[in-house]
Structure 1
């Protein structure tokens, strides 16, 4: 375990009595609430200094959604645990300039908002959404607020992301969630290396080192994950790589403590210094999400 408190840059909490999450319906693991108290129990001996909440794909529809309701729910969670220092909600960036009033409300009423995530992975046409002029205009609006954008595709969609990133203003910090959900089980290491090499060319791009075990399949080993961790650091370096736990999604394949142990072992094998591991586990998240720690 790290010898210093760490920042978890990707926490989910949800409650089906407060909002509707159709994506979780029928799931034995995810079809019930998760609160900060559950997260405490899952962290075990990990010393967590702060957390950043990421939106949980609460239901939305043409012309509306539970965007502000989810922020209010997370603010209630943060009253019980002030370590939730950042909130990254969903917003309908595909509305382009028409999303501006909602973003202004988020800024004016909810100071913990640090950025936006609008998942493209599950859209009926991810390419059409991500590369549409309105969506790109909506992402570029974030520069006015000093906010970042979390990118969430899977490995089969990374060609779209490689077209998307050059079209976004360099003034919008962006981060690739979960290393782009690589095809570890499918043996897609060459593609992963090419994707990391391409995206790392852009100084405003970061990568979130998180949630690899679910994409390695049942019975995964550290040896399965190590090449993907190594390639991430080869291209983004410790300066633009950010640790995250992705609780409770990670529970489908690992635990919070096991994931940190995997990373500790990989960092040691790769020869990272204590200062470099501190960047990944804490300092980069503090800077990227402007947590003020």
Structure 2
């Protein structure tokens, strides 16, 4: 366990009485409310200094969504726990320049917003969406507001990401959950190839999180995850790799304590300085937390 407080760059909280999350309906684990108090309880022995909220795929539609409502909900959570230092909401970047008024309102009225995530993984046609002129325009528009972009895809979609990042020259980006690699399938060769190629994009970072969820939920071991952890650092280095939990999504396969203990064993040879970069300092800089 790190001997210093860490920063968790991927926290979800939601309340089904406040917003609509159709994607969670019917799930015994997710069709219930999760608040910041539940997160603090589940941390166990892990000491967390600050958290970054990531949007929870609240329902949206062709001409609108719950983008601003979700921000306001998280601001309420942050009033109860000021450890929530930053918010990364969804925004309809596929609208291209038409998304600018929403981004402008976020910038003016919601100072905790640091970036935008628009999940493409679950879209009917992820390739058509991600590589469309309007979506690329919308993501590049984030530069005007000083926002970064978070990429959420499955490993079968990584060829799309390889093409996409080349079209975003200036906006900082981060690949969530290591691109959800095929751990259960043993797809380490593909993962090494993907991260080696993506690391050539200088404005792209990677979020080391959720690997147990991509493995066998009930039977994963350190040995299943270790090649993917090693490949991440080999390609992106310690300066562009950022720690995250992904609670409560991670609960499908691990507790937060077990995830940190797994990483501790994998990083046993790291210096104190490099551990601080991975667990805290890179996040502080990337998300502009000013801690």
Instruction: Tell me the residue number matched to 2:213.
Output: 214
In structure 1, how many angstroms separate the alpha carbons of the residues matched to 2:239 and 2:266? Answer: 16
Q: How big is the shift at 1:92?
A: 0.2
Structure 1: 4+ residue segments shifted above 6 A: none
Write out per-residue CA displacement over residues 86-122 of structure 1, whole angstroms, 9 at most, x where no aligned residue: 0000000000000000000000000000000000000
Counterparts in 2 of 1:136-285, with a 5 A limit?
A: 136-169=136-169, 171-217=170-216, 218-268=218-268, 271-285=269-283
What secondary structure does 1:167 align onto?
A: coil
In structure 1, how many angstroms separate the alpha carbons of the residues matched to 2:186 and 2:212? Answer: 14
Write out per-residue CA displacement over residues 229-273 of structure 1, whole angstroms, 9 at most, x where no aligned residue: 0000000011000000000000000000000000000001xx211
In structure 2, how many angstroms separate the alpha carbons of the residues matched to 1:66 and 1:121? Answer: 19
TM-score (norm 2): 0.99
TM-score (norm 1): 0.98
Q: How big is the shift at 1:146?
A: 1.0
* Equivalent residue in structure 2 for 1:288, among 276, 286, 289: 286
Question: Where does structure 2 lack aligned partners over 5 or more consecutive residues?
Answer: none
Note the aligned Cα RMSD (angstroms): 0.5
Q: How big is the shift at 1:187?
A: 1.1
Counterparts in 2 of 1:42-191, with a 5 A limit?
A: 42-169=42-169, 171-191=170-190
What secondary structure does 2:278 align onto?
A: helix
In structure 1, how many angstroms separate the alpha carbons of the residues matched to 2:106 and 2:172? Answer: 18
In structure 2, how many angstroms separate the alpha carbons of the residues matched to 1:63 and 1:292? Answer: 35
Q: How big is the shift at 1:76?
A: 0.2
Q: How big is the shift at 1:145?
A: 1.0
In structure 1, how many angstroms separate the alpha carbons of the residues matched to 2:288 and 2:190? Answer: 32
In structure 2, how many angstroms separate the alpha carbons of the residues matched to 1:146 and 1:131? Answer: 22
Q: How many residues align?
A: 290
- Worse overlay, 52-61 or 39-48: 39-48
- Worse overlay, 271-280 or 121-130: 271-280
Write out per-residue CA displacement over residues 15-59 of structure 1, whole angstroms, 9 at most, x where no aligned residue: 000000000001000000000000000001111110000000000
What secondary structure does 1:113 align onto?
A: coil
Question: Where does structure 1 lack aligned partners over 5 or more consecutive residues?
Answer: none
What secondary structure does 1:239 align onto?
A: helix
